[in-house]
Amino acid sequence: MPINPEALLQEMLETPSLSGQERAVAELLVRRMGEIPGMRAWRDEAGNAVGVLGDGPEDIVLLGHMDTVPGDIPVRREGDLLRGRGAVDAKGPLATFVSAVAQAGPQPGKRFVIIGAVEEEAPSSAGARHIVGRYRPAAAIIGEPSDWDRITLGYKGSLVAQYTVARAGEHSSGPNANAAEKAVDFWIRARDYAASWNGGQPRSFATLDPALRAIWSEDDGLFNHATALISYRVPLECSLAELKGAMPTWFDEGQLTIVSAEEPFKAERNTALVRAFLEAIRQEGGKPRFALKHGTSDMNIVGPAWGCPMLAYGPGDSNLDHTPHEHISLAEYRRAIAVLSRVLVSLAQ
């Protein structure tokens, strides 16, 4: 294998790549993938880093993402741990893809397509949206942290909405609610809607989960203005259309803007792809497990469109996503590479 997996991951972590600013890490990936014998690598029109190995009639797409959320975490090695922004979410899984494909090498009848997507952490999801109509894979693996011995089959959907309101100024002793109070009322109704929909069921993959992302107000002396930004994690059983339809009933003045909306998605469990992962994890000494995630990923976008066997996989503890403590175990990273390389070889048999 012409690349060093640990050096590759460290290089990626040392190259900042906030959403919308991924060019440097994309160029790094194109260079490194271009060093793998037989692999063709380039940046596509959206800025995604793409590497293709093999010429078979069936595509196996390995879709990860290069971008990270803000927050500088100095890259450093501490024993088995490698710290840095993106170590878990999701440069670790993406580096696993590159290293595993390099280790597996070309396989008969298969074309391995590695895609490091841009803007997965942004509402735009520009990288995944760019490729969704350009590939029709036989199977797809999404690069997200799940631990080396666990595979993820589904993600909740999401809805992000912004409510804004302006009211004429009056003395604070006056009888009318001000804009800030109106924004709080909107959030309370949003929260109560979820509580009613859930019917007392504890938080799970089947519950509608609200969050108040931000709320702010200002007063210019003539009018007071307020904005509330809320989000939902949406289960399979909840209709996004019905949720959107209910929201205008929660206020009597102001404006509602839907910032983004993604349908939930759950992949099939009984597929050759899943079976290949279960066997590979066992061969590496693990006891395979399944996960359903409360967040979203690019699986929400490509899953419904591609309709092929699909799952998410990658090393790392997803509880460290977006935290100041983000790090990855290099031993786990190496085991994930071994698992995935076994899977890629078995899919061609």
Task: Kindly list the catalytic residues.
Answer: 67, 120
Q: Can you tell me which residue has the tokens 């100095």?
A: 74
CA–CA separation, 122 and 18 (whole Å): 10
Residues 6+ apart with CB under 8 A from 28: 11, 12, 15
Q: Can you tell me which residue has the tokens 């007063």?
A: 219
Closest residue by Cα to residue 141 from 341, 299, 32, 306: 299
CA–CA separation, 245 and 106 (whole Å): 50
Answer yes or no: are the C-beta atoms of 155 and 295 closer than 8 Å: yes
Q: Can you tell me which residue has the tokens 């203005």?
A: 225
Count of positions (residues) in the chain: 349
CA–CA separation, 303 and 158 (whole Å): 15
Residues 6+ apart with CB under 8 A from 149: 281, 284, 286, 287, 288, 289, 335, 339
- In the β-sheet with 157-168, what is the strand arrangement from edge to edge? 209-219, 223-234, 157-168, 255-262
Half-sphere CA count of 208, side-chain side, radius 13 A: 22
CA–CA separation, 14 and 185 (whole Å): 44
User: CA Rg, the chain, in Å?
Assistant: 22
Residues 6+ apart with CB under 8 A from 168: 222, 223
Closest residue by Cα to residue 313 from 274, 261, 345: 274
Answer yes or no: are the C-beta atoms of 252 and 115 closer than 8 Å: no
